[in-house]
Amino acid sequence: MGLVVISLIKLNKFNEYANFSQSTIFLTHITLFTLVTLFTFSTSIDLLKVSGYTCAAFFVPVDIQKTPKKQPSDRYYYLLGVKAAGDFGVTIAIPALIAAYLGKRLDIHFGTSPWLLVLGFTIAFVLTAIFAVRKAKRYAKLYEQGPRD
């Protein structure tokens, strides 16, 4: 909501010492119509003395259209989603593959099948959970920041 100053309307030339309420105002029909219209929609009226003329300044509230913020492109969010999906996939797959490979090799070497494999998967699960939470926080921050223009 903003205030716009409508141009000053010359009401009549008054005596320097005359009071507005005591003076007679001679208005044409057009000026009277303009005055009534502005008075209806205005929130305040100020009377000014400008070079011997009494003028009315009307302040009419209007909605000033702000320039809308540039909406971020959906492309940024699609690419962020694809990147996050790939990143989370790698975060889950790599520890599981390493745990499977090392667990199986160590079980064969020590003859403890399947206990070192199970232990490797447990450690991989815990590490994956920690890394996933960190990455989720980082991607949430990137999502909230939006694209950098």
Least confident among 22-26, 36-40, 47-51: 22-26
Residues 87 and 136 in one domain: yes
User: For the residues 95-100, what does the mean pLDDT come to?
Assistant: 97
Q: Of 7-16, 69-78, 121-130, which range is least confident?
A: 7-16
Residue 57 and residue 34 share a domain: yes
Q: Is 44 domain-assigned?
A: yes
85 and 136 housed in the same domain: yes
Within this chain, do residues 91 and 58 fall inside the same structural domain, yes or no? Answer: no
Write down the pLDDT at residue 40. 52
Element (H or E) spanning 93, and its range?
helix 74-110
68 within some domain: no
What φ, ψ does residue 61 adopt, rounded to 5°? Answer: -75, 135
Percent of the chain at pLDDT exceeding 70: 51
The letter for the amino acid at 145 is Q
pTM as predicted: 0.49
Which of 11, 42, 62 is the C-terminal boundary of a domain? 62
The confidence score (pLDDT) of residue 52 equals 55
Query: Of 38-52, 65-79, 95-109, which gets the smallest average pLDDT?
Result: 38-52
Six token digits for residue 89:
């996939």
Same domain? 78 vs 21: no
Largest Cα separation within the chain, whole Å, is 115
Tell me if 44 sits within 8 A of 61, measured CB to CB: no
Domain residues for the domain of 39 are 2-62
Write the pLDDT tens digit of every residue in 55-85.
555 555 555 566 566 666 789 999 999 999 9
Higher-pLDDT residue of 16, 91: 91
Can you tell me the distance from the alpha carbon of 63 to that of 121, in angstroms, rounded to the nearest whole number?
62
Query: Is residue 69 assigned to a domain?
Result: no
- Tokens 């029909």 sit on residue: 29
Report the run of H or E that residue 61 belongs to, with start and end.
strand 53-62
Judgement on whether residues 85 and 137 belong to the same structural domain of the protein: yes
Given a cut of 70, whether residue 25 has pLDDT beyond it is no
**Closest C-alpha to 128, from 68, 80, 87:** 87
Q: Are residues 58 and 81 in the same domain?
A: no
**Residue 116 resides in a domain:** yes
Q: For 101, phi and psi rounded to 5 degrees? A: -65, -55
Within a domain: residue 16?
A: yes
What stretch of H or E contains 87? helix 74-110
